[in-house]
Each structure stands twice: as structure tokens, then as C-alpha cells.
Chains A and B, each alone.
Chain A
């Protein structure tokens, strides 16, 4: 790590001109030594992705890029013509993208991609043997067969491995990795990150690692640059950034992450909580689910796919039950079937002692009001053509509140979730994700439900607002006393808010128990390996012993 490989001074990127000009990067500086891994962390919209794209000249033509200095390996990149830059890109500078599935040409086999890239770096002769070797190097087991498969026939993790193998073939000096594991499951993410690290060591390449995931950044990067609103607010050694953040924004970001990671102790561990929990089990369960099976028809083939397979459990009134699982585990399907948005193929769902397994849609309508949902996508939760106030009044009207009181009650709901009356006149696109999620909670409680299914309700939010929304949800729950089914893939979030946790895997419920028991003494092998991959930020940076 002696000389600088990359030296950027005052990089500015903007789109549009005149009044319509939006500035994405507002003058950032980057220094990167040979063999160094620089993490760029920041929230969505901070411009972290644009930094990598502008370095590789991959921004759309409408983007306007300027910099005082943009040195790569001692050469000024800005002076290079299109042709000269093309010669550099791919060979010296490479990029790994967030979406491995989208990075491959869907009409061509994996082998075709390898042939093109190997030809690009001047390889000749038996390209197939070389490609197979590369695939083996990244841990693809049936490499020969994989060569003849199309991208849609491989999993995301497999494609990301193949993409890394392609970058390996290029032997670049600099790799820009843009959230390379964000779309992958936790267990696969760990494997791919290890692979990426060994690749970096082998090539001695420098890496710009763009991520929003702080545990990943903390365990992976030598130095960290924190971005906010198009500016780098702080750069430093990883230990310094996480241990002694200087900038208030960095501090807020890390404090929130630490709070979720349990650095301030775990609220679900204390005795009074345990006692309350025990009292609930004396009551009649809110839901009694037995052997529930849900299947969906295959879109292309005949037959059907079992999204849920013989799931049995109870939901107690007033508890927060976490449903933990990775994508495709059936956790979302489970949440929606409790609201009878799907028709079960087998088993039984009892709601307050009433069998609703095959209840008709018409008679469901009267009890649906007691079951509400908070969705993952805050933007999609509201009709784009209606104001927040209209949405809330509509919900209140459905709950049979007198017409004259609707407006007043809507405002008091907004105030309850920490907003003001003026937010009621706004449309969905005029509010931030966090604000929308507050209104979504307000709409759910407007109907005075007995149960709320929160489906990944904070996953799309930035880390800094996640804790606020979770706190609000917890407060509202204590106040009103409804049960919450909290669906999530995030271990920290689940441990932070849930009373009990059910672990889902491939449509089956593996185990269910009190949160701390699941986290400290997992019974199922899958839960153990899931917890094994978990990078606890608090432990990583030594905030707790």
C-alpha cells in the first residue's frame, strides 16, 4: 500500500441543465492505494453508486461529469479519448454489479460470456478449458455443465460467482464492487464475500466497495468513506470510523445500527417482559394454525409449487411474533395467508375460535378490518392519486366513524405517528420512505385492528430511520395492545422487536420459541448456520464485550 492507484479531486456529477439541474455528486475526493479496499457507505440517494459509475465512465450520456483531477495509475482519465478509455476499461478497471441476474445477457449461455471476456483480454486457444478452470476457481462444482446453461437457469449466488470469475479473468488493477451481495441470501452472502476477498488477495487489486451494510463494511474494508447527499462527510481507517466517528451524520448512522444490534442491551431479556409473555399464554390464542399448506400454480409448467408446507403454530393476543426467513422461505406467503389473502390448499386457520380456512370473500370483509398490514414498499402502500388525508379518512370511514369527525380524527392519527396536519394534504411521492411508513401505521391503527402483519416493514428504509419506525411500532403496540406478526430477514431487527420468533425455510416452519432462546440456543441446524453467518456490528467493532 505505498503509492496511490486512484486519486480523485473535486468530482462533480449532475444531470440536466439550468433550472432542472440536479447535482448528484458535489465535489468529492478519493484516494486509493494499491491493494487497498475502500468502503463507501451511505444511504440510498447519497450518490455512492454514481461515484463508481463515473470512474468507469458508465453513466448515461445525459450525465455531466467534471473533476479537477481523476488519476488512475498515474494517468489522467479525463484526457483519454473514448477509444483509449475502452482499452482501459475491463482490463485495468472492472466492476461487479448489485444484480448478478441482470448482469448477464439472458439470450446467451454462461460459456458464451466467458468466451467473449477471454477474447477481450487477448486469450486464445482452448477458451473452454480456461473458462471451466475459472469457474472451478470460484467454487462452481459442475463447471462443465454450467458452461451450457443460460443465466435464468442459475441461482443469484451462482451467477455472482460466475461474475467474479469473469472479473478474475480480466485481472484488473481496480475493482469497483457496487453492493455485490445485497440481493443474496445471508448464507450465500458470506460465501461470496469470502470469495471476493480471496480474489482480491490473489490479484493484489484495489477495491472500491460500495455498500449500505455496515457490518459488511466493518469486516471487509481497510478504510471507509461515509457519503451523505452527494458529499463525503468523513474518511478514515475502519476502526476509527466505527469506534470514534467524528462527523455527526456518521455518529447517527452508527448509533442506530448499534442500537438495533443490541449494544444498549436487549429489551426482550428482562424479567417483567418474561412475566407478561407467560400471562399471554393463559389466554385463548388469536390464531390457531394447523398443517397449513398453500400452493401456487407454476407459470410455465404444469403442477404446482408449495409455498407453505404443513405449517402449525399459534399467535397470542398482544404479542409480537417474528417470522424470520430468507427470500423464498414462504414467510410473506404465511403472513398473507393469515389475512386470508390466499386460499389454503390444506390445513386449518382459526381466527378467535372461528374457522376461516375457506371463508367466502364476502363474509371475510367484515372481519378483515381487524387484520391490517404494513407493507415493505412504503411508496406502493398508497394510491398515487390520493392524498394521505384522503387515505386515512377512507380507512376511518370504513371503521364506521361519523362523517363529521373524520377530518379531526385523521389529523390526530397523523400526530400520533409523529407527523403534522399538513402531511395530510400531500401525495405519496411528496413524502420520504420513513414518513410514508408512519402514515401506513396510522392507517393500520385507524381500523383498530387486533392484529397487524408487518411485512419487512423497515427493510426498504434507510438505517437511520429504521430504529424510529420500529420504536413507533412498538409504542403503538403497547398502547393499543394488538398482536403484530413481524416478517423479516434481518436478524438484528427481529431480535430487537420480537417477543417470539418462528424460523421459516423452504415453506416449512423449522422452529418457534422466545426470541432470546432462538438466538442463544437455536435447535434447527439451519438456524444455527444462519446465526453463524451473522456479523454483529457491536461485536465487530468491540462496542460490547
Chain B
């Protein structure tokens, strides 16, 4: 009797887990599909915007005094004389086979995909390093502030956050360079070590730029976490848990924090678009050879294939991170995975 009962319970539990896993996998798949669609439409919009922009790339590459023949040759070489739809389709076809076209700048003329391939790891490393730092700092500050609400700790944490969002990343970079690099000499202020070479060195050298990107985000995240935690504390189930006499530490962990996690993660997903913005400027200041630096160089030279490719890559990263946070939220929140 008892055996069958346990057996039944176990069966229900496995079935339930399998169901929720398959549901969340299905949800993730459909989210990925819609992310790909956004990416496709996004690439079309960027492509058309670039074409609609005033100014002929041939002029900016060859110079204002270029002969009509040279311009025509340039157009022919880069396929700019074909109809727009054809240009887009051939670009898209190239992208699907890993070919982003050739850089326009005469000096470089390299395939964009080679440039991207060389620069992407640094950007990804720096971006995720910063994201990790921001999450870690915000978990600490936000939890401390919310649990010590109204006390000195709360005031200190909240003040740190307000100062954090009042420091633009490029300005913070110089403050960090000045204090921790030049002043104290704890960290190098320029350069980049690939995590493939040495993870420890990469983390060490990359610390200041990652922190510069992370700090404003950490401030935003911890303010969010504090607000969500405080809001969750007023929920009736927290009062009910107290009425059952459950321990306050247990209630904080399993009721308050657990339920605050989903809105917190949602905000992280939404903020990723700012993190990547920070990457562009900070990469330049610290001399990190990443996609951000590539894009700024491309901007000065009006190198459209490079600009297009960099924009699409950044768009893809945002969509990917959003899909991942969304899927985690679905797994964490039983109400969503119906």
C-alpha cells in the first residue's frame, strides 16, 4: 500500500518535472525563433538605413576629388551598382556562410568576418566579466540594503548606488586608472590578455575595464533588487509564513528572495543593451582590441560593411542574452511554464 503510494508520488514528480522541462524547452525554442526573426528584420532595417544615409562611401574612401571612372569602378567592385534588394540578399547569403563582405577602407581591405573573429572574443570576455561583476556587486548591495531597510547600512548601500549611476563609464574609467592604476599601482591601466592564454592574467588585466562597465549597471541592478525585495516583503505570503512561525532567515531566503529573483533577472535582461554600450567606450580607453574599438574605427572611416557587421553582432548578443534570461525566468517561475 505504502509502496504504491510512494511509487505514484515519484511518478507524478518525474512526470511533472519532465513536463515543465519540455514546456520550458519548447518556450525557449519559440523564443529563439522569434529572436532570429527580430535579427533578420533588424539587419534589413540597418542595411536600408545605411543605404538611405547621405553621402557616397566611394567618396569618403577615395577622396572628394576621385574621378567618375574610379567611383564607378569602386561601385562595381563592391556591388553597389546593383538593385538594393539584390545587394541585401547577397549580403544575407554571405552572412549565412560566414562572409560579412570586405572592409571598404583601402588600407585594410580585409574580410570583415576575419576582423570580427579576431575581435569578438575580447568583447565577449569583457562583457560577461562586467555582467558577472555587476550581478555579484548588486546581489551584495541590494540584499544588504533591503534586509537592513531604513538603517545605516541601507543608507550607505543606497548612496553608493546613486553615486554609481551618476558616474558615466568613461569618466569612471579615468578615476579607476588614476587611483588603482597610477596611484596605487595595483592594476595595469592598458592592454588586454586573452583568457585563452591565461585566465588569471585575463581577469587581472581586465579588472579595471570590467569594473568601469559594471559599476553603473551594478548600481541599477542593486536598486532594482532592493526595490523588488522590499515589495516582496509586503506580500501576504510573507505575512502568512511569519504567522506559521517560520524562521525569519528561512522566510527571507525561500519566500522573499526566491520570489524577487524573476523580476530582478528580467531587469538584467533589459539592461544588457546599456552594458554593451559601455563596452564600446571603455574598450577604447583601456586599449582592448574588441568589436567596440573596431566599430569606432569603422565609424571614423565610414566603413559601412564593418559598421553593419558590428551592429548586427551587438544586436545578436542582446537578443541571445534576452532569450537566456527569459528562459531562466520561465524555469524559475512555475506560473509561467503552463
Are A148 and B9 within 8 A (Cβ)? yes
Which of these binds chain A: B159-167, B251-259, B276-284? B251-259
CB-CB nearest in chain A for B17 = A148
Query: B-facing mask of A94-131, CB < 8 A → 1, else 0?
Result: 11010100111111100000001100100000001100
A:140-157 near B, CB below 8 Å: 144-145, 147-148, 150, 152
Q: A108-B254, A150-B335, A301-B338 are in contact. Are A56 and B243 (CB under 8 A)?
A: yes
Which of these binds chain A: B76-84, B214-222, B233-241? B233-241
A-chain residues with CB within 8 Å of residue B335 when the two chains form the complex: 106, 150, 152
Cβ of B21 within 8 Å of any chain A Cβ, yes or no, is no
Cβ of A473 within 8 Å of any chain B Cβ, yes or no, is no
B-chain residues with CB within 8 Å of residue A56 when the two chains form the complex: 243
Are A89 and B338 within 8 A (Cβ)? no
Complex Cα–Cα for A357 and B247 (A): 58
Q: Kindly provide the distance from the CB of B232 to the nearest chain A CB, expressed in whole angstroms.
A: 10
Query: B-facing mask of A143-185, CB < 8 A → 1, else 0?
Result: 0110110101000000000010010001000000000000000
CB-CB nearest in chain A for B239 = A58
Cβ of A86 within 8 Å of any chain B Cβ, yes or no, is yes
Cβ of B12 within 8 Å of any chain A Cβ, yes or no, is yes
Cβ of A317 within 8 Å of any chain B Cβ, yes or no, is no
Are A150 and B334 within 8 A (Cβ)? yes
Complex Cα–Cα for A132 and B255 (A): 23
A-chain residues with CB within 8 Å of residue B254 when the two chains form the complex: 105, 108, 116
Are A102 and B12 within 8 A (Cβ)? no
User: Quick one: which of A94, A102, A128, A170 has the most chain B CB within 10 A?
Assistant: A102
Are B246 and A144 within 8 A (Cβ)? no
Q: A106-B335, A150-B335 are in contact. Are A94 and B244 (CB under 8 A)?
A: yes
B-chain residues with CB within 8 Å of residue A42 when the two chains form the complex: none
Q: Kindly provide the distance from the CB of A542 to the nearest chain B CB, expressed in whole angstroms.
A: 37
B-chain residues with CB within 8 Å of residue A147 when the two chains form the complex: 9
CB-CB nearest in chain A for B237 = A105
B-chain residues with CB within 8 Å of residue A106 when the two chains form the complex: 237, 259, 333-335
B-chain residues with CB within 8 Å of residue A108 when the two chains form the complex: 254, 258
CB-CB nearest in chain A for B241 = A105
Q: Kindly provide the distance from the CB of A411 to the nearest chain B CB, expressed in whole angstroms.
A: 43
A-chain residues with CB within 8 Å of residue B234 when the two chains form the complex: 60
Q: How many A-B residue pairs lie within 8 Å, measured between CB atoms?
A: 87
Cβ of A81 within 8 Å of any chain B Cβ, yes or no, is no
A:49-96 near B, CB below 8 Å: 56, 58, 60, 86-91, 94-95
Which residue from A58, A145, A163 sits with its C-beta under 8 Å from B12? Answer: A145
Which residue from A90, A105, A166 sits with its C-beta under 8 Å from B258? Answer: A105
Cβ of A300 within 8 Å of any chain B Cβ, yes or no, is yes
CB-CB nearest in chain A for B235 = A102
Complex Cα–Cα for A148 and B33 (A): 32
Q: A107-B258, A148-B13 are in contact. Are A102 and B241 (CB under 8 A)?
A: no
Q: Kindly provide the distance from the CB of B293 to the nearest chain A CB, expressed in whole angstroms.
A: 43
Are A104 and B244 within 8 A (Cβ)? no
Q: A105-B258, A107-B334, A148-B16 are in contact. Are A58 and B236 (CB under 8 A)?
A: no
B-chain residues with CB within 8 Å of residue A117 when the two chains form the complex: 244, 246
Complex Cα–Cα for A225 and B16 (A): 48
B-chain residues with CB within 8 Å of residue A300 when the two chains form the complex: 338
Q: Kindly provide the distance from the CB of B154 to the nearest chain A CB, expressed in whole angstroms.
A: 13
Cβ of B51 within 8 Å of any chain A Cβ, yes or no, is no
Which residue from B13, B16, B240, B248 sits with its C-beta under 8 Å from A97? Answer: B240
Complex Cα–Cα for A462 and B255 (A): 34
B-chain residues with CB within 8 Å of residue A58 when the two chains form the complex: 239, 242-243
Classify chain B's interface size: 20 to 34
A:262-305 near B, CB below 8 Å: 300-301
Cβ of B245 within 8 Å of any chain A Cβ, yes or no, is yes
Are A104 and B246 within 8 A (Cβ)? no
B:192-241 near A, CB below 8 Å: 234-237, 239-241
Are B245 and A90 within 8 A (Cβ)? yes
Cβ of B109 within 8 Å of any chain A Cβ, yes or no, is no
Are B9 and A107 within 8 A (Cβ)? no
Cβ of B41 within 8 Å of any chain A Cβ, yes or no, is no
Query: B-facing mask of A490-507, CB < 8 A → 1, else 0?
Result: 000000000000000000
Are A104 and B237 within 8 A (Cβ)? yes
A:504-541 near B, CB below 8 Å: none
Q: A106-B259, A108-B254 are in contact. Are A128 and B239 (CB under 8 A)?
A: no
Complex Cα–Cα for A413 and B13 (A): 63
Complex Cα–Cα for A129 and B242 (A): 25
Q: Kindly provide the distance from the CB of A88 to the nearest chain B CB, expressed in whole angstroms.
A: 8
A-chain residues with CB within 8 Å of residue B16 when the two chains form the complex: 148
User: Quick one: which of B2, B244, B250 has the most chain A CB within 10 A?
Assistant: B244
Complex Cα–Cα for A88 and B246 (A): 11
Are B243 and A95 within 8 A (Cβ)? yes
Are B245 and A116 within 8 A (Cβ)? no
Are A103 and B259 within 8 A (Cβ)? no
Which residue from B240, B245, B248, B332 sits with its C-beta under 8 Å from A104? Answer: B240
B-chain residues with CB within 8 Å of residue A145 when the two chains form the complex: 12
Are B237 and A102 within 8 A (Cβ)? yes
B-chain residues with CB within 8 Å of residue A102 when the two chains form the complex: 235-237, 240
B-chain residues with CB within 8 Å of residue A60 when the two chains form the complex: 234
B-chain residues with CB within 8 Å of residue A88 when the two chains form the complex: 245
Complex Cα–Cα for A412 and B250 (A): 61
User: Quick one: which of B235, B239, B245 has the most chain A CB within 10 A?
Assistant: B245
Which residue from A107, A150, A166 sits with its C-beta under 8 Å from B244? Answer: A166
CB-CB nearest in chain A for B234 = A60
B-chain residues with CB within 8 Å of residue A148 when the two chains form the complex: 9, 12-13, 16
Cβ of B114 within 8 Å of any chain A Cβ, yes or no, is no
Cβ of B8 within 8 Å of any chain A Cβ, yes or no, is yes
A-chain residues with CB within 8 Å of residue B333 when the two chains form the complex: 106-107
Are A97 and B239 within 8 A (Cβ)? yes
A-chain residues with CB within 8 Å of residue B332 when the two chains form the complex: 107
Complex Cα–Cα for A148 and B334 (A): 12
CB-CB nearest in chain A for B335 = A152
Query: B-facing mask of A383-425, CB < 8 A → 1, else 0?
Result: 0000000000000000000000000000000000000000000
CB-CB nearest in chain B for A52 = B243
Q: Kindly provide the distance from the CB of A53 to the nearest chain B CB, expressed in whole angstroms.
A: 8
Which residue from A94, A107, A116, A150 sits with its C-beta under 8 Å from B246? Answer: A116
A-chain residues with CB within 8 Å of residue B247 when the two chains form the complex: 86
B:180-202 near A, CB below 8 Å: none
Q: Kindly provide the distance from the CB of B247 to the nearest chain A CB, expressed in whole angstroms.
A: 7
Q: Kindly provide the distance from the CB of B252 to the nearest chain A CB, expressed in whole angstroms.
A: 12
A-chain residues with CB within 8 Å of residue B235 when the two chains form the complex: 102
Are A90 and B334 within 8 A (Cβ)? no
B-chain residues with CB within 8 Å of residue A150 when the two chains form the complex: 334-335
Are A152 and B334 within 8 A (Cβ)? yes
B:82-113 near A, CB below 8 Å: none
Are B259 and A105 within 8 A (Cβ)? yes
Among all A-B residue pairs, the 4 with the closest Cβ atoms: A90-B245, A102-B236, A103-B240, A95-B243
Known: A107-B332, A170-B245. 11 other contacts (CB 8 A): A56-B243, A58-B239, A87-B245, A89-B242, A97-B236, A102-B240, A104-B240, A106-B334, A106-B335, A152-B334, A163-B240
Interface residues of A (CB under 8 A from B): 56, 58, 60, 86-91, 94-95, 97, 99, 102-108, 116-117, 120, 128-129, 132, 144-145, 147-148, 150, 152, 163, 166, 170, 300-301
Q: Would you mind naming 11 contact pairs between A and B with Cβ atoms under 8 Å apart?
A: A60-B234, A86-B245, A94-B244, A97-B236, A105-B237, A107-B258, A107-B333, A116-B246, A129-B5, A150-B334, A170-B245
Interface residues of B (CB under 8 A from A): 2, 5, 8-9, 12-13, 16, 234-237, 239-248, 250, 254-255, 258-259, 332-335, 338
